[in-house]
Amino acid sequence: MSYIQLAACFLLVAVVVGVILPLLRRRRGPLPAAVLLTVLVLFVLTAVFDTVMIASGLFHYAQGPLLGVHIGLAPVEDFAYPLAGALLLPAVWAELRARRRAREDRNTDEEHG
């Protein structure tokens, strides 16, 4: 399995949960501008820190399974993980918050009902 195939698996899960779940639930998901800003910041941090870690010899990649495109020393495949996190985590947070509010509303109704 190549690195891009592995990254695609993570991205698929993140897109399904992070984008499609809020649409199906008809709940407001995370603000797109906030997600975009998060992605940009995480991409910059990934480029910088992956380059530093690779340059210092902390780890290396087998070149065969890579696409061959790099930003600094970081292979482009490494950027799939911060993208997946930026899509997935806010959506999970919003879903859990909505469930907590629904539970609190039910408890309030039961107390007053």
Q: Is residue 4 within 8 Å of residue 67, measured between CB atoms?
A: yes
Return the domain boundaries, the chain.
31-59+70-108
Q: What pTM value is reported for the model? A: 0.76
Q: pLDDT in tens for each of the 113 residues of the chain?
A: 788 888 899 899 998 888 777 777 776 767 788 889 999 999 999 999 999 999 999 988 887 888 889 999 999 999 999 999 998 888 888 888 888 888 888 888 777 76
Displacement of CA 13 from its chain's centroid (Å): 9
Cα–Cα distance for residue pair 50/26, rounded to 1 Å: 38
Contacts of 29 (CB under 8 A, 6+ apart): 18, 19, 21, 22, 23, 90, 91, 94
